[in-house]
Structure 1
Amino acid sequence: MSLNLVSLVGRAGMDPDVKYFESGSVVCNVTLAVNRRSRDDQPDWFSLEIWGKTAEIAASYVRKGSLIGVSGALKFDRWQDRNTGANRSRPVIRVDRLDLLGSKRDSDPNAVNTYEDEF
């Protein structure tokens, strides 16, 4: 049995970057800052990749500073550096589920909206 599951709650580090393709597909990229238990530590930063209807929802409702929860799978983007020819990679969370937990300005802590990607 194998399992690749990541669940995170944090704040969006930027407004979503949305791309629409001729095929009709849509992808949304955003960074997520997740605080550690100690307030003295710097947050961990994650790159999120969201596709489909969930990407459109993220584009409409997620803004820098928004509190969101995500679950998905860890993948690695791999490429060859154009200048040096070195192989490069970066971890990316492929989001399957998005929970809109609010923003710094929201006053209702119980308001949660959940969106799942359909495969």
Structure 2
Amino acid sequence: MSLNVVTLVGRVGGDPDVRYFESGSVKCRLTLAVNRRSRNSDRPDWFNLELWGKTAEVAANYVRKGSLIGVKGALKIDTWSDRNTGANRSSPVIKVDRLDLLGSKRDNEPNSIGRDDMDEF
């Protein structure tokens, strides 16, 4: 038996990178910052996400930098040859099957006030 399941909750590192193909397919790439459950870690772990189809369209329409999301998917390793050196390269990517929008609708409004802004009032 084998199992390849990844579940993450974190904040999106940048606006979605969306590509539409002539075949009608839609692909979306995101980065996700996830804090570790330890007191010694002040830096998040960063994950590259890949979404396809309807899930990619939802991300394109509703996810923005800083959005709190949850994802479930599988780990895959992208491999390629470096154009300059010809060396083999690889990068881990989470192929997302499920996307949950966890923040409130207000979190995605550009004029909403966040905790960091409360010091000014």
Structure 1 residues 57 and 41: alpha-carbon distance in aligned structure 2, compared to 1, 3 A threshold: same
Alignment deviations for residues 66-86 of structure 1 (CA, whole Å, 9 cap, x no partner): 000000000011000011110
| Identity %, equivalent residues | 79
Q: Which sections of structure 2, spanning at least 5 residues, go unmatched? A: 108-121
Q: Which residue of 2 aligns with 1:4?
A: 4
RMSD between aligned residues = 1.5
* 1:78 aligned partner, one-letter code: T
Q: Which residue of 2 aligns with 1:34?
A: 34
Contact 1:81–1:88 (Cα < 8 Å) also in 2: yes
Q: Which residue of 2 aligns with 1:68?
A: 69
Q: Which sections of structure 1, spanning at least 5 residues, go unmatched? A: 107-119
- For 2:88 and 2:29, locate their aligned partners in 1 and report how far apart those are by CA, in whole Å: 22
Give the paired residue count.
106
Name which of structure 1's ranges 34-43 and 79-88 shifts more when overlaid on structure 2. Answer: 34-43
- Structure whose alpha-carbon radius of gyration is higher: 2
- Higher fraction of strand: 1
Deviation at 1:89, TM superposition (A): 0.2
Q: Any residues of structure 2 matched to 1:1-119 within 5 Å, and which?
A: 1-37=1-37, 38=39, 40-102=41-103, 105-106=106-107
Alignment deviations for residues 29-72 of structure 1 (CA, whole Å, 9 cap, x no partner): 00000011226431000000000001000000000000000000
Structure 1 residues 103 and 11: alpha-carbon distance in aligned structure 2, compared to 1, 3 A threshold: farther
* 2:42 aligned partner, one-letter code: D
- 1:94 is paired with a residue whose SS is strand
Q: Which residue of 2 aligns with 1:111?
A: none
